Amino acid sequence: MSMKVGARNKIKGKVSSIKTGDIMSLVKFDVTDPCTMASVLTTESLEELGIKDGDEVELIVKAIHVLPVKN
Amino acid sequence: MSMKVGARNKIKGKVSSIKTGDIMSLVKFDVTDPCTMASVLTTESLEELGIKDGDEVELIVKAIHVLPVKN
Amino acid sequence: MSMKVGARNKIKGKVSSIKTGDIMSLVKFDVTDPCTMASVLTTESLEELGIKDGDEVELIVKAIHVLPVKN
Amino acid sequence: MSMKVGARNKIKGKVSSIKTGDIMSLVKFDVTDPCTMASVLTTESLEELGIKDGDEVELIVKAIHVLPVKN
Amino acid sequence: MSMKVGARNKIKGKVSSIKTGDIMSLVKFDVTDPCTMASVLTTESLEELGIKDGDEVELIVKAIHVLPVKN
Amino acid sequence: MSMKVGARNKIKGKVSSIKTGDIMSLVKFDVTDPCTMASVLTTESLEELGIKDGDEVELIVKAIHVLPVKN
């Protein structure tokens, strides 16, 4: 893709379901390729979380913050 | 995990790097397990996007919207 | 206030600390008045969460999503 | 709660109403315990706002940014 | 307006259409006055984007992140 | 642009300043072309706001929610 997007997370997904509503719609995607994800949080929250290299975490993202882009 | 989180996207990741700043910090994660992701968008945007089952897309998420949770 | 804001959550707070950074700053507020808060989530997430009237929950909000307004 | 969440705002609420829609739902909560809230904003916006310790402000949060978590 | 809002983007718009849904609604606005917009992104994303003064870009904002305020 | 983005707001801007920080950076853009903007809010907030066609409002967007894209 020749377009550059100013965001850290760009994840490949394949559409698996579409549910259309009056104003909003919900789309699901299968993600199979390994990828890197990034989180920005306050340094305070990071210290409280107490994570270090190799730690396993869960990354929570509200669906409303996921922006699909199609070439 | 016994706690339930009211969000569609819960992705397993392993901390790969931490960069600490004055107020905000940036953490990177390796995601290797296949997962499902969900996006909520306006039905108008969905129609304009013109995606259907099986289509490959890119899912853009600003790092600020990724919330790490540690058990 | 004569101005009307198109958001559900309008919480009174008193500034308790300010930490100024190069680009971003972090401000803390004491909230003492009881208030109502509102959450919009997917109906799917709501069903999975399985909450009902009277249930106690924790409401998580990233600090970046809190917008201070001063009269 | 043994789970740690990488966010500054963790507010206790009690479910007071649930309104279920086709794709999205709206949940209201009573918040009665005093709490601390945090906001991250640009240092530029902070300076323009001109707030200092003890100032009373209103904290605006769109409902879509409130994530309910249930133990 | 005597109220001060802790955000960088404050854009004048005139309501051009309103579409009301069960839980969420979609409002459109005509913006005709020239304005300044601001984006906060990770320094990493900025470097990858490789933009410099005078470059033309497209600014993408999900409609859910636009907060209307009426005097 | 051949790429399609699943968002309502796509605004043309020209970079006018760049301020680079440790983790986050702040970029300003001049927007001169008239454009349409869209907001999604709860139907409750819309009713409370009481706006109708032709009303003038202010559209508030935190800079963190603006995603620059470069062709």
- Chain C neighbors (3+ CB pairs < 8 Å): A, B, D, E, F
- Is the distance from CB of F6 to CB of E61 less than 8 angstroms? no
What pLDDT is attached to residue B46? 98
- Is the distance from CB of F25 to CB of B63 less than 8 angstroms? no
Q: By mean pLDDT, which of C1-15, D48-62, E12-26 is the weakest? A: C1-15
pLDDT tens-place string over residues B30-71? 999 999 999 999 999 999 999 999 999 999 999 999 999 998
| Residues 6 or more apart whose Cβ sits within 8 Å of residue A4 | E48, E49, E50, F69, F70
Domain assignment present for residue C60? The answer is: yes
pLDDT tens-place string over residues F5-37? 999 999 999 999 999 999 999 999 999 999 999
Mean pLDDT for the stretch of residues F43-49: 98
Q: What is the CA radius of gyration of chain C?
A: 15
Among the partner residues A6, A24, A65, nearest to E41 by beta-carbon distance: A6
- Is the distance from CB of C68 to CB of D58 less than 8 angstroms? yes
The total number of structural domains that make up chain B: 1
What pLDDT is attached to residue B44? 98
| Interchain CB distance below 8 Å, D64 and E64 | yes
Domain assignment present for residue C21? The answer is: yes
Q: What are the phi and psi torsion angles at B6 (to 5°)?
A: -80, 55
Provide the mean pLDDT of chain D.
Answer: 96
Is ipTM beyond 0.95? yes
What pLDDT is attached to residue E71? 86
**pLDDT band at residue F43 using 50, 70 and 90 as cut-offs:** very high
Best residue of D1, D2, D3, D4 to probe chain A, by most A CBs closer than 10 Å: D4
Q: Tokens 């968008």 label which residue?
A: B41
Mean pLDDT for the stretch of residues B18-22: 98
Domain assignment present for residue F2? The answer is: no
Domain assignment present for residue D19? The answer is: yes
C71 has a pLDDT exceeding 90: no
Residues E65 and D45: their CA atoms lie apart, in Å, by: 17
- Is the distance from CB of A50 to CB of D4 less than 8 angstroms? yes
List the beta bridge partners of residue E51. none
Among the partner residues C2, C23, C69, nearest to E5 by beta-carbon distance: C69
Q: Which two tokens stand for residue B7?
A: 């969000």
Task: Establish if A59 touches chain E: CB-CB under 8 angstroms.
Answer: no
Q: Tokens 């099986």 label which residue?
A: B54
What pLDDT is attached to residue B71? 87
Task: Establish if B44 touches chain F: CB-CB under 8 angstroms.
Answer: yes
Residue C45 host element (H or E): helix C43-49
Task: Establish if E62 touches chain B: CB-CB under 8 angstroms.
Answer: yes
pTM score of the predicted model = 0.97
Domain assignment present for residue A65? The answer is: yes
Domain that holds residue B23: 14-65
Contact residues on chain D for F63, CB-CB shorter than 8 A: 42, 45
D1 has a pLDDT exceeding 60: no
Domain assignment present for residue D45? The answer is: yes
pLDDT tens-place string over residues C15-58? 999 999 999 999 999 999 999 999 999 999 999 999 999 999 99
Residues E29 and E9: their CA atoms lie apart, in Å, by: 15
- Is the distance from CB of A23 to CB of B43 less than 8 angstroms? yes
What pLDDT is attached to residue B20? 98
Domain assignment present for residue D69? The answer is: no
Chain E residue whose CA is closest to A68: E62
**Dihedral of CA E47/E48/E49/E54: which sign?**
positive
Q: How far is A6 from chain E (nearest CA, A)?
A: 5
What pLDDT is attached to residue D58? 98
| Interchain CB distance below 8 Å, A67 and F67 | yes
**Dihedral of CA B45/B48/B53/B55: which sign?**
negative
Q: Which two tokens stand for residue A7?
A: 């965001």
| Interchain CB distance below 8 Å, C62 and D36 | no
pLDDT tens-place string over residues A8-50? 999 999 999 999 999 999 999 999 999 999 999 999 999 999 9
Domain assignment present for residue E58? The answer is: no
Report the candidate in F41, C56, A57 with the shortest Cα–Cα distance to residue D68. Answer: C56
